[in-house]
Amino acid sequence: MKRNKNDIFFLKQAFQIAKKAEGFTSPNPLVGALIVKNDKIISQGYHKKAGLAHAEIEAIRKAKQNLKGSTLYINLEPCCHFGKTPPCVDEVIKSGIRRAVISTVDPNPKVCNNSIRKMKQAGIKVRLGLLRKEAEKLNEVFFKNMKENRPFVVAKLAQTLDGKIAASSGISKWITSGCSRKFAKGLRDKYDSVVVGINTVLKDNPKLNGLRKIPYKVVIDPDLRINKNIFIVKHNPGKLIVFISKKNKSNKVIKGARIIPIKERKGRLDLNSMLLELFRLGITSCFVEGGSQTLGNFLDAKLIDKMHFFISPKILGGKYALTSIGAEGYESLDKCPYLKEPEIKKIGPDILVTGYPSYDGK
């Protein structure tokens, strides 16, 4: 029992270390590693960026003591293949580590359990599955990528208490407080790209940057209405990706930006195709910020994996005010998606509801 308690304690610390690089390891997962000997942490490491050392390797290399008889705590199975770095599992085996506590197997089919088997064969005792759920959540982007070969999609919206994002006059500034807006800006740092519809771009001319990084900016713009006066065209166009309809025959050029034609489905750009294109470009996650129509299209297509509702205590009213999630919508309350056990949090005067939409209608 004592051993179990310590296992959770140390493993949680590995999680904490892993999180330091949140948003910066793409396309790789977040990994934190702790090496413990006689109940003392003797080394630790985390994966900082694709191409740099993996967490367990960093921990092994930084250790100032002999690792013989030590235990490795890590949230994800070590790799066993050559990527940008050589396989970690061999170095773990060589290090003298005698026991490993691992939350989950690596969902990457190239790894999936192979490293664990190899470690066991080499005589390392493996405890697998501790804090598994938490570890999958920590790397929800990576797990989605590996299992479905598409980016993880997070929707964010800021609405009044009565579900509106603009008055009937069109005025939409500001729905939520400064502190919610800053928090939302910080969320962009966690993902590879920010996605918006062309109407939002033309109306608000947003910068779409994070607090600590400049994400890819993806604009859904069937008729290629974006123009050179727009902020995200003028600044870092190399980070701009514009999806247009295959039907569009314009030869307008947006200097420095990628323009990608995709097919339509029911008169709208096909979001599945768009996500596949983005994934091919190495974009593992999309932070979809609106507007109403774009969020609605993603919801209709059942493509939203996670949602953040920032709800202000303001009440706009109005039959013609703009609803937060538009488009087609669902026909009945038995079949519409819902958030299962959402997390509810106060941010300044606002409420933040976060959850994972369930589309099974149960």
Which residues sit at the interface with a copy of itself, rule CB under 8 A?
159-164, 167-169, 171-175, 292-293, 295-296, 299-300, 307, 309, 312-321, 323-333, 336-342, 344, 346, 349, 351, 353, 355, 357
Give me the least distance between CB of 350 and a copy of itself, in Å please. Answer: 10
User: CB of residue 275 vs a copy of itself: minimum separation in angstroms?
Assistant: 19
- Tokens 């170095």, located at residue: 91
According to DSSP, the residues that pair with 307 across neighbouring strands are 155, 355
CB atoms within 10 A of CB 183: 19
**Which residue, 84 or 331, has its beta carbon nearer to a copy of itself?**
331
Tell me the catalytic residues. Answer: 56
Q: How far is the CB of 265 from a copy of itself (least distance, A)?
A: 17
Q: How far is the CB of 173 from a copy of itself (least distance, A)?
A: 7
- When the beta carbons of 3 and 345 are compared against a copy of itself, the nearer one is 345
Smaller CB separation from a copy of itself, 8 or 171: 171
Positive or negative: CA dihedral 163, 338, 355, 279: negative
Region of residue 283 (left: phi > 0; alpha: psi -120 to 50; beta: else): beta
Q: Can you read off the two tokens belonging to residue 249?
A: 């025959």
Closest CA to 36 of 58, 61, 14: 14
Q: Which is nearer to a copy of itself, 163 or 261 (CB)?
A: 163
Long-range contacts from 173-178, C-beta under 8 angstroms, 24+ separation: 175/310, 175/312, 175/314, 176/310, 176/311, 176/312, 176/350, 177/312, 177/347, 177/348, 177/349, 177/350, 178/348
